[in-house]
A = this chain, B = another copy of it.
Amino acid sequence: MNGAESLVRSLVAGGVDTCFTNPGTSEMHIVSALDRVQEMRCVLGLFEGVVTGAADGYARMAEKPACTLLHLGPGLANGIANLHNASRAHVPIVNVIGQHAIDHLRYDAPLTSDIEAIARPYANWLRTSSSASEVGCDAAEAIAAARTAPGQIATLIVPADVAWAEGGKVADVSPVPRPALPAFESIDRATSMLRSGLPTALLLAGNALSGEGLELAGRIAAGTGARLLAPYPITRVRRGAGAVAIERIPYTPNQAVEVLKGFRQLILVGAAPPVSYFAYPGRASVLTSPECEIHALARPGEDYTGALEALADALSLGTKEPIVNKPNRPSVPTGEITLDGLATTVSALLPEDAIVVDEAMTSGRGIMAACAGAPPHDWLGNTGGSIGIALPLAVGAAVACPARRVLCLTADGSGMYTLQALWTMAREGLRVTTVVFANRSYAVLQKEFAGLGVGDPGPRARSLFDIGHPSLDWVNLAKGMGVPATRVTSLDAFARGLRDSYAADGPSLIEIPF
């Protein structure tokens, strides 16, 4: 068995059975090994930002890492922006990056680069395999590193001669350290805060936003009067009728400050203290009021569910039930397109157990709130602010959950960074409904320009925010990649488009010029 085959078999043995890839010559022996290991599913992307973003979406939904297989330093570089997003959200990913054969490096061939240097800013674990006999072990360690709480990016660089040499050994699964409970003092402090009677919120992240963690947080909120908050950069939250009620902190600093100003205490569960995305001249970066005491009940990497359980016990909540969203399915609106109408339409038709991927920064802001009473669903957002993740995330989520419908909300500006994802949706027959809010502009930048107090944009600045000359025609772009598409100019047509898309057994796209 060569190194490449031991690598792939070790990945599969460790539970990593999905590979998002855009390989090149230096990865051909690994590609050949994939031919011999049928347990590994391979999903091709035509651009590496699709590959890493899909691995992120997969891991969020599958609750285990996928691997990527990327071509040398430039292939990795193309995937970095979405690794930034995954890294900020502690989403586990195992990257496998090809490298030249070790003897070839000295010749400084055109594709030679310092791959470790390119990988390091977004690798919690980083190694270059040194021999065929060790690459299997390296893969097992990479998986363990990726799975170590709160979730990490592990990057394994595999020289071509390590892949092609004989002597590969399939490695045993490496143990994953269990996340630790926070210290007693931390739980005790949170208990006191919740008993103080002061206005208090719990800000949740990671797996505290779904499943048992969210249930426990909901019971604590119900028993103490505390409010539950989610950060704006949201990895995955359970939403809809029957889900624990939780409010997302808005993106816009003014709105975020408005939501947070009433709280005198903020308890963090895996979350970072809320700060604005950007600095604005003369404004504070911190979004909470100066009087607000912030306490980290559980820090990233600690056991969020265990911490919440201990807190609930300390508060003696008994059988207190969480406050959950009531079913509230609006009827399907008709007529002209409005922001409210679009949000209501999405809520009215959202399929049971849908996965909603949301990167519609401007036109889509009202949709999440409108879906509070829709059938239960998961909501996935952009976690690192690097634009261009929605379409790849949708690919990964759909690969992880083939039985569920994925609704991908994006915009013309954000969608263009990684539009190649549409082709992978078509190739894999993924049941993704992509909605493109085509406002023909970098609308978020127009708002930011105003928010920065720079004055009115002149012709040059306006031109740089204007992506409508020429307009992007998403119907043609989607068709060009094999995805059926339609443009809708009324709410009725939007509803029809969503119904048709949800009934289809593959991807489709709806463009809304608005």
Contacts and interface: CB of A to CB of B under 8 A. Distances in A.
A470 B32 contact: no
A386 B34 CA distance: 24
Contacts of A386: 74-75, 111
A118 B120 CA distance: 9
Contacts of A120: 117
Given A104-B285, A286-B107, A482 B470 contact: yes
Interface stretch (A55-63, A221-229, A450-458): A450-458
Interface residues of A, number: 99
Given A28-B449, A46-B467, A121-B73, A103 B384 contact: no
Contacts of A75: 81, 386
A210 to B, nearest CB: 20
Most buried by B among A74, A444, A470: A74
A416 B113 CA distance: 23
Given A47-B416, A84-B77, A28 B445 contact: yes
A84 B74 contact: yes
A384 B416 CA distance: 25
A514 interface: no
A221 to B, nearest CB: 25
Contact of A276 (B109, B387, B469): B109
A35 B100 contact: no
Nearest to A416: B46
Contact of A448 (B28, B161, B455): B28
Interface of A: 21, 23-26, 28-29, 31-32, 34-36, 38, 42, 44, 46-47, 49, 73-75, 77-78, 80-81, 84-85, 88, 100-101, 103-104, 107-111, 113-114, 117-118, 120-121, 160-161, 164, 233, 272-273, 275-279, 281, 285-286, 383-388, 413, 416-417, 419-420, 423, 426-427, 444-445, 448-449, 452, 454-455, 457-461, 463-464, 467, 469-477, 479-482
Top 5 closest pairs, chain A to chain B, by CB: A470-B482, A35-B458, A74-B386, A476-B480, A101-B279
